[in-house]
Chains A and B, each alone.
Chain A
Amino acid sequence: MPSSHDWINKPLGVVEAMFAQSNSNPEWEAKVLEYFKGQLKEKESHSWVPSLNDVPLHYLKPNSLVKFRCLVQDMFDPEFYMGVYETVDPSTKANVLRCGKYKDVTECGVDLNSRNTVTAERQTFYCVPIPGESPWAKEISFLSAARVVPSTSYVPSRQKRSYEEDDDDMDTQPQKQREPHTEPHGNGDSKRQETEAPSSQTTTPSDCSSHLDLNFPLPGERGPACLVKVYEGLDSFKLNDTLEIYGILSVNPVLTVLGEEKDPSLLLLNPTESMETPEEQRAHDPPASLVPRLHMLYARPLQHNNPLLPSAPTEDQSAFVSSFLVEMASVRAELLAYLTHVLLGDGLAAEYLLLHLISDVYTRRDVLPLGKFTLNLSGCPLNSYTERLYQIVQQLVPCSYRLSMSLHTMNSMRLVPKKDYVANRLVSGALQLARNTSLFLDETQLEQGQLDSSGVRNITALGNLISWQKVDYDFSYHQMEFPCNINVLVTSEGRSLLPSDCQVPLQPQVTPPNMEEYLTTIHMAQFTSQINKFRVYLSLARTLDYSISDEVTKAVEDDFVDMRKDDPQSVTAEDLHRMLVVARLLSLSLGQTTLSRDGWMRAKHIDMLRRSRTEQQKSLNGNEP
């Protein structure tokens, strides 16, 4: 374990040294970034950096380098700060130039009128942990972090316990705000906690009872939210991007105290202060103990958040991929068998579920998202079957969320993010999800009744999400469209009221007397190593490239014409769309990166099977009174 990790422990020192050397040559900024990038490139080095996701905040050293795996939930307005400022050194009485980058506060005695002051611009992103991250993904990343002991005051013996806390809270505690109060007392840090807790409340005198809303997209989430100060490449970041951010942690208590002070006479005279509503202040300047600041040095967009896969597209990964490709077919068979069991012996449904799980919007053609594959699993048995099914899906994918579409939730829940102009922030909704999140819509929970206007809006939003893979965020004066990439799985009794790319009526081959037990046994029968293989498989299959040769194109065309010749009514352009997607997913699921004739025939075949099944269903329903 290397001991001299100054760049992790005291990154600001590094920055300042470089600044001092530079003689206000602006190139130093690029050098700083290069330096840190270089350090992180070294083997394993990024694992030495403690992660905000895994280590409780109070174990982390202020002003040290940390990383954070997160989703950009909101982007605040750009702010101007003093990039370089001049102070008077109290001991020597000499004017000193200081660097204000990567810091929230300045040293004492800033000469505001100095001509050497350089104003620079940065932007703040409000970041939250990736919504709906599966417990297993958290656990694995946590354990891997614990393996390499980070250079913090964080005592490894406590890891286990705090992890367990995490786990408990997952299930039992829907309330987000317990964090500052539930922190265990009796260690040195708790003192700081205590002194800050009251002060954080005084900042919001108008509304003491309301908790600071951390604005997580999904209810019941917890974890650190973070204000990330971004200095470079502002345009390259987009809302809802998932990033791994390396930055300097800042939890300076001054940040809290500054906002707290409210001398009424000063308030009157200082218009800039009075302009901010308390809500806005709370949203933009929450206490640093709750929402730490992170000054970004380096950010890496995450293609996936599966900790079992190498995250960076390096040589590592291609080696990993090629080694896994060999196994691909066998893993697929195992997974298919597993899913068949789970789906009560319905092999076709299992096949479709597998395809659905690896689907991905790989591109958009004007408004048309290509590659989406929304699956409607109809005919699901009632009574908690869907819930168990979700748990199994959750075990397989790194990110998921189950939306129980009961009348109450549809009417009351906020699905679409909405801009709150009073607090000047984007209030999140359940549809603000990271890419490739599995959204499990449980329509079996829906009963008859009245949808109110917000319910209708929610259903419309879900419909839009499924058909166009976009969510129209509500900016009250207008809507803004944000493209997304979410895998939607709808379980329903009959045909779903939501649109879908493909409907598969479930035909159970077995009817276990005790569903719960049945599913639990299946689940238990799998070894963790096996499950891990599935997880890697699903994430990997999605990232493979895919192409189609001219020859096969021709064959597909011929085939389509032939099919239409027989019965033009039965095969439409839409069917061709779907079959092309199925063919793509089918090939990828087998690890084949080009479409073969066989692949196409297979795709056609299973689509045939599925269609005959739906038609059968239709005629069945037709006979009913």
Chain B
Amino acid sequence: MSSPTSTPVGSKRSRDDIPVTPSSDGLASPPSQRRRGQDSSNGDLPAMPTSPATDIASPAVHDTSLFSSPRRSGNFLPSEVDMSSPLMYGTPSSRVEGTPRSGVRGTPVRQRPDLGSARKAPQVDLHTELPSADGAVASEQAAGQKLVIWGTDVNVGTCKEKFQRFLQRFIDPTSNEDENAGLDLNEPLYMQKLEEISVIGEPVLNVNCSHVQSFDADLYRQLISYPQEVIPTFDMAVNELFFERFPDSILEHQIQVRPYNALKTRNMRSLNPEDIDQMITISGMVIRTSQLIPEMQEAFFQCQVCAFSTRVEVDRGRIAEPAVCRNCNTTHSLALIHNRSAFSDKQMIKVQESPDDMPAGQTPHTTIVYAHNDLVDKVQPGDRINITGIYRAVPMRENPRQSTVKSVYKTHIDVIHFRKTDEKRLHGLDEDSDQKLFTEERVQTLKELAAKPDVYERLSSALAPSIYEQEDIKKGILLQLFGGTRKDFSQTGRGNFRAEVNILLCGDPGTSKSQLLQYVFNLVPRGQYTSGKGSSAVGLTAYVMKDPETKQLVLQTGALVLSDNGICCIDEFDKMSDSTRSVLHEVMEQQTLSIAKAGIICQLNARTSVLAAANPVESQWNPKKTTIENIQLPHTLLSRFDLIFLMLDPQDEAYDRRLAHHLVALYYQSEEQIEEEFLDMAVLKDYIAYARTYINPRLNEEASQALIEAYVDMRKIGSGRGMVSAYPRQLESLIRLAEAHAKVRFSDKVETVDVEEAKRLHREALKQSATDPRTGFVDISILTTGMSATARKRKEEVAQALKKMIQSRGKIPAMKYQQLFDDLRGQSEAAITKDMFEEALRALADEDYLTVTGKTVRLL
């Protein structure tokens, strides 16, 4: 038995480590040699020999063996100690971890304030008569009696056995969690994890509750209903198992089991009084974290008269100050000695309901969460997390001077496990796991819908029904919502390929472009809506901010990063400043954002689809001009859009009639019809979410062939007229669109039909946007180089004509600018504008044929 005076070797990690001898006999221990926090045996108080049953509530929490830390031998207690003897209470032996048989050696137990040792409510008295081997937990099967922890139906022995069996046998061949990466899926999962623990030395075992449930539903139920009894039992079981297998491993403290993903996952709103003291998992967003709070676990009192010392454990947040010294019977002589009291780390975290699971028109709820020990500082404000923990309600403090109390409880959650839901962005894996869970029936409905031959048309018409027609545009947007398949070639050094489809809508003002954008923004869970006029480069990307409280630099993300995996809708794209637009270059092709600001250099993922809307420069679309001329956007940016649609007023009577009918109906539709539509929107949302999560189509052989053909065809069209009509970017677009179309069908294969539709849509978009107004041909170079091939040809002709004219004049070293212009105009049959003339001059200057200085043109 370690003497209380022995200064333990090393490992004074923090206050909350309790690697030291319990000073049951601490009465005489010299205070000077104690480090603070050394003693925090939270259950067994020497001062309270009559309270063994305090442990009942949470057995393993209390059978904390507090050895002076990593001493390997010497203090190992023989398992034969009669633990049930009342004499053993208050001695270290009673705190031997686990059962005597275990190979658990001197590994210290770390206290688990998350399980709330403080909760030892009224059970206490009832249990004094039931001290038994497992730290006062009634589990004497030998007696043939089925004893359970008071107030529950948990039998420690069976529970432990079950859990050990679970650990040893559970295999999850379908696992796809990133935590399990690198593990052999056909071997018992958790045994591999234990092995990992022995290697890494991080004594935490995360257990997925759904695994427990599929293995043993009853155990799961107990875990959910009585977490603070069951988890310590799990702890015990794990440690026994672990030290049996890896008797030589050294851990900082004993393994703690951290269950997560309790299937009761719910949002904050649905918490109700029935959940109190149960294990729950909720999701939310961290909005505030407090400073670290040292929480007193055990108070140390010393008598001012006789120096008798005593320890009092914190009970429900308060300390019962002993009024009388038991040694000398002096009243009110005991004083609290702070630096000999035990503290543990604690942090308050405020979590707010995530905006996605809130009913419209209400404000988000917040919940207070307490993190203990090493979970402190694990999350930052702004993180989206899933919290597994125990829901608590504490009555408001009673006021001794007041006869009445507020009848309100304070509620909070003691965290057992954090899981960041957006952590995966760092891993670059697909989609979030916090995607909505779909019920069987829902999946069934979706699949039925998918099986319909006209699902594509159905969905596209369900999209923004208030906007009239524009079928192709809606189809394009629909494909954008589904997106292509993400391909990762980073291992071969080719980097990620973009799966997101970008779309630009341009056209006359008042053609409901904004409305479409608004609709899309409302439809997708991670949508962002900005307006080109109102957003700066900073607002789009990310900016560095100094936290006023902590003076810490914080990276605040802008719209593009926020819409990672979503859609960023940018209205008034044309009004955006050039510098802002330049940010988009990286985002739209590489899907990342680089930031170098205030000492922070980083690259963020921004795998966002861009849906932009632009107005023509002249307020009305000029059909005589090309797209580029109409919207004045750099072609480098334009070529990054997969589809560019023109939304023009068609101006034809039949269309007008349909439009009028549509609008009038829009205004005076009956209630039921509106109701119906809302249903559609919900279905559409689910359909998209489902397809994005579960469907990853790949090209099949025929489809690849079809794509190749399509591409070759596109290039051929152009080559016939001496211009290039397709670039590899267009091929990539086609692939993405075909994949998206396959997703719409819930198909894992991209087939020829998908390619056909992709081709059609792409052609439609091109027809609209890349038609050369001068020739009427589709000319992709308008988008890729900003100038149509005919325009380029024409430019060349003018230059040649000019050159010929100059040459025909013989050797004149210089001539007047204006005169030359007039001459050229007179000579040419086509009208030559000043612009054209200047361009020709520039072209010739580039050839080093002449130079222009002011008003004179010199030959070289």
Contact = CB atoms under 8 A, between A and B. Distances in A.
Given A275-B368, A477-B285, A548-B667, A255 B406 contact: yes
B10 interface: no
B659 interface: yes
B285 A572 contact: no
Contacts of B169: none
A381 interface: no
A79 B531 contact: no
A106 B404 contact: yes
Contact of A367 (B382, B396, B518): B518
Contacts of A309: none
Nearest to A107: B404
B762 interface: no
A367 to B, nearest CB: 4
A483 B358 CA distance: 14
B489 interface: no
Contacts of B510: 572-574
A16 B179 CA distance: 56
Interface stretch (A176-184, A202-210, A261-269, A333-341): A261-269
A445 B407 CA distance: 52
Most B C-beta atoms less than 10 A away, residue of A268, A366, A561, A576: A366
A460 B534 contact: yes
Contact of B660 (A112, A240, A266, A557): A557
Interface in B266-311: 271-273, 276, 285, 287-288, 290, 293, 295-296
B660 A556 contact: yes
B683 to A, nearest CB: 14
Given A258-B402, A365-B674, A572-B510, A269 B273 contact: no
Interface string A61-93: 000000000000011011111100100000000
A74 B366 CA distance: 13
B611 to A, nearest CB: 14
A505 to B, nearest CB: 20
B515 A106 contact: no
Interface stretch (A51-59, A113-121, A512-520): A113-121
Contact of A561 (B314, B352, B653): B653
A426 interface: yes
A265 B197 CA distance: 41
A383 to B, nearest CB: 32
Contacts of A115: 122
B497 interface: no
Contact of A82 (B361, B394, B407, B466): B407
B660 A77 contact: no
B397 A273 contact: yes
Contacts, number: 210
Contacts of B464: 366
B404 A80 contact: no
Interface string B323-349: 000000000000000000000001010
Contacts of A426: 363
Mostly helix, strand, loop or mixed at chain B's interface? Answer: mixed
A104 B681 contact: no
B435 to A, nearest CB: 18
B395 A254 contact: no
A274 interface: yes
Interface string A564-599: 110010001110110011001000000000000000
A238 interface: yes
A617 interface: no
A105 B406 contact: yes
B355 A421 contact: no
A171 interface: no
A257 interface: yes
A322 B404 CA distance: 55
Contacts of B314: 269
Specify which of A82, A421, A557 lies most central, judged by the most chain B CB atoms within 10 Å of its CB.
Answer: A557
Nearest to B523: A366
Interface in A242-294: 254-255, 257-258, 261, 266, 268-275
Contacts of B410: 272
Contacts of A7: none
A104 B402 CA distance: 14
B226 to A, nearest CB: 17
B399 A120 contact: no
Given A271-B293, A421-B287, A480 B668 contact: no
B144 interface: no
B762 to A, nearest CB: 27
A231 interface: no
Between A237, A422, A475, A573, the greatest number of chain B beta carbons within 10 A of the residue's beta carbon is seen for A573
- B288, B358, B668: which has the most chain A beta carbons within 10 Å? B668
A113 B363 contact: no
A286 B411 CA distance: 20
A392 interface: no
Nearest to A241: B361
B407 A269 contact: no
B363 A121 contact: no
Interface string A400-429: 000000000000000000010110101000
A100 B273 CA distance: 15
A272 B394 contact: yes
A573 B468 contact: yes
A568 B659 CA distance: 13
B395 A112 contact: yes
A104 B406 contact: yes
B492 interface: no
A108 B656 CA distance: 76
A553 interface: yes
Contacts of A574: 510
A467 to B, nearest CB: 8
A468 interface: yes
B405 A573 contact: no
Contacts of B393: 80, 119
Nearest to B392: A272
B350 interface: yes
B112 interface: no
Given A119-B273, A367-B519, A561-B653, A573 B659 contact: yes
B317 interface: yes
A80 B663 contact: no
B434 interface: no
A496 to B, nearest CB: 16
Nearest to B366: A77
A368 interface: yes
A165 B562 CA distance: 51
Interface in B728-755: none
A254 B402 contact: yes
B794 interface: no
B322 interface: no
A572 B266 CA distance: 48
Contacts of A268: 296
Contacts of B359: 235
A32 interface: no
A419 B363 CA distance: 10
A239 interface: yes
Nearest to A426: B363
12 contacts: A78-B365, A79-B409, A80-B393, A239-B361, A270-B397, A271-B317, A271-B348, A272-B317, A272-B394, A426-B363, A467-B514, A553-B665
Given A85-B407, A258-B399, A271-B346, 19 more contacts: A75-B363, A77-B367, A78-B271, A79-B408, A79-B409, A106-B405, A119-B276, A239-B361, A240-B361, A258-B402, A271-B348, A424-B350, A460-B531, A475-B355, A480-B364, A572-B649, A573-B659, A576-B663, A580-B664
Interface of A: 74-75, 77-82, 85, 100, 103-110, 112-113, 115, 119-121, 235, 237-240, 254-255, 257-258, 261, 266, 268-275, 363, 365-368, 370, 419, 421-422, 424, 426, 456, 460, 467-468, 475-478, 480, 482-483, 546-548, 553, 556-557, 560-561, 564-565, 568, 572-574, 576-577, 580-581, 584
Task: Pick the 9 closest A-B CB pairs, nearest first.
Answer: A238-B361, A108-B403, A560-B660, A557-B660, A119-B273, A568-B651, A80-B409, A367-B518, A105-B404
